[in-house]
Amino acid sequence: MNLLYGIGFAAALLIALLMTPLVKRFAFWVGAVDAPNHRKVHSRIMPRLGGLAIFIAFVGAFFIVSPAMDTLKMDVVFGLLVGGTIIVLIGALDDRFDLSPKIKLLGQILAACVVVYSGVVIDLVNVPFGDGVVSLTWLAVPLTIFWIVGVTNAINLIDGLDGLSAGVSGIATTTILVLALMMGNTTVVLLCIVLLGSIAGFLFYNFHPAKIFMGDSGALFLGFCLATLSVLGFKQATVVSLLVPIMILGVPLSDTFFAIMRRWVNNLPISAADKNHLHHCLLGMGFSHRTTVLIIYAVAAVFGCCAVLLSYISEQQALWGAIILIAVLLLVLVLGAEAIGIISKTKKPVLHFINKVRVKTAQLSTRSRMSK
């Protein structure tokens, strides 16, 4: 089995390495290019459609290895492949013709419905910090569709720097892979292996300075895969906390959440584009392009490690350990967000409160020394 996994990874890596230059030429030929503007950080015309190379490598490697494995759940795999094909087509058309948001959303919902029809549904929710399992009944289908569409777009939102979306997706895929290995889910393991190989092969051309962008065809496909794999990996786990898949995707989901909060605080429409995402803020602090990407990789890796740790703690039923881990992570997340000004450059309530407490403590300490 380990040999098959190795073959799957190597095949996906090799196909992506071979296909990406061809896709680059194809993108220029059809005019699927990204021109620089005031919101972009690149300064020259770049080819898009890199997602086609990732998708071809993913599908090709899977069909190379899967005939030798008889434990795969082919119904859900079929749903992922068909839904992924719809996503890639919508993304590729958008890379070339700039589709309207409504058409893109309809395509994402259609792809999510295909996955749900194949049996991938969040039908049970594990109550955090306990053994209780709540059946979602009629909420299962809309919640699953919402999760898939939400994660799909969250990955797309962070696709703003060379190698950023691909690298963060690779780290999230690795986290799901580790947890799937712990749970013995061979279907998720194989899908993660070939997806990781596809990402690694493409990242060779996409890391700064990038030779090609993945475009919506890639960002939407990776988000769709991660959303589906997270459901596949944890929908049948009876003791894994509901927060684990959310933590795995901590970087894109938190960046999306902060973007919504930022626009709400500034009285802007939620759909309004801006240049204040996590990577923009780090660049504004003086970090280089490559350093910014590596910092976000590190943050994604921390989220991944916390997800694995939370899964282990949940299985051990260590209630307080899970509470402390989540509380510390949330505090660090809020402090970090306020420090870099991702929500607002002036409104930083938690940091201001901490600063007031620090000043008050210093004053009390000074008075105490003077009284002696």
| C-alpha–C-alpha distance, residues 307 and 175, integer Å | 8
DSSP, collapsed to helix, strand or coil, labels residue 249 as coil
Whether residue 156 is annotated as binding a ligand: the answer is: yes
Which residues, 6+ apart, have CB-to-CB distance to 102 below 8 Å? none
CA distance 299 to 250: 9
Angle in degrees, CA 311, 315, 321, rounded to 5: 70
- Residue 169 CA to residue 229 CA, distance in Å, equals 12
The predicted model gives 250-269 an average pLDDT of 83
Identify residue 287 by its one-letter amino acid code: F
Evaluate whether 304 touches 175 at the Cβ level (below 8 Å): yes
Structure-token match 């300490």, residue found: 365
Q: Where are the alpha helices (DSSP H) in 71-163?
A: 74-97, 101-117, 140-157
Instruction: For 275-288, write each residue's pLDDT tens digit.
Output: 778 887 888 888 99
Assign 3-class secondary structure to 321-332.
HHHHHHHHHHHH
Confidence (pLDDT) at 125:
61
Q: Which of 189, 236, 205, 241 lies closest to 77 in space, CA to CA?
A: 189
Q: Take residue 128 and report the two structure tokens written for it.
A: 């955090």
Per-residue model confidence (pLDDT) at position 367: 72
Identify the pLDDT of residue 236. Answer: 44
Q: Mind listing the pLDDT tens digit for each residue in 147-167?
A: 999 999 989 888 888 999 999
Least Cα distance to 347 among 284, 267, 283 occurs for 267
Whether the per-residue pLDDT at 331 is higher than 70: the answer is yes
Bond prior to 209 in cis (omega within 30° of 0): yes
Question: Could you give the C-alpha distances from 259 to 99, 108, 159, 272, 278, in angstroms and in order?
Answer: 22, 21, 14, 10, 9
User: What is the per-residue burial (b if ≥16 Cβ within 10 Å, else e) of 80-101?
Assistant: bbebbebbbebbbbbbbeebee
Q: Which residues of 306-332 are buried (b: 16+ CB within 10 A; e: fewer)?
A: bbbebbebbeeeeeebbeebbeebeee
CA–CA separation, 226 and 266 (whole Å): 31
Q: Is 162 annotated among the ligand-binding residues?
A: no
Residue 274: both structure tokens together: 């801006």
Could you tell me if 185 and 175 are in contact, meaning their C-beta atoms sit under 8 angstroms apart? no
| pLDDT, greater one: 153 or 237 | 153
CA atoms lying within 13 Å on the CB side of residue 119: 8
115: pLDDT confidence band, cut at 50, 70 and 90? very high
pLDDT in tens, 186-229: 999 999 999 999 999 999 999 988 999 999 999 999 999 999 99
Top-confidence residue, 290 or 267 = 290
User: Which residues have CB under 8 Å from 329's CB, separation 6+?
Assistant: 247, 303, 306
Give the C-alpha distances (Å, rounded to integers) separating 346 from 54, 71, 369.
Answer: 41, 55, 35
For the full predicted model, state whether its pTM sits above 0.85. Answer: yes
Which three-class secondary structure state does DSSP give residue 182?
Answer: helix
Whether 294 has a pLDDT exceeding 50, the answer reads yes
The mean pLDDT of the chain is 85
DSSP character string of 51-90? HHHHHHHHHHHHHHHGGG-S---HHHHHHHHHHHHHHHHH
Residue range 10-24: mean pLDDT, rounded: 97
Output the pLDDT for position 139: 82
Is 324 or 170 the better-scoring residue by pLDDT?
170
Structure tokens at 27: 């993108």
**Residues in the chain, total:** 372
CA angle 175, 177, 179 (to 5 degrees): 75
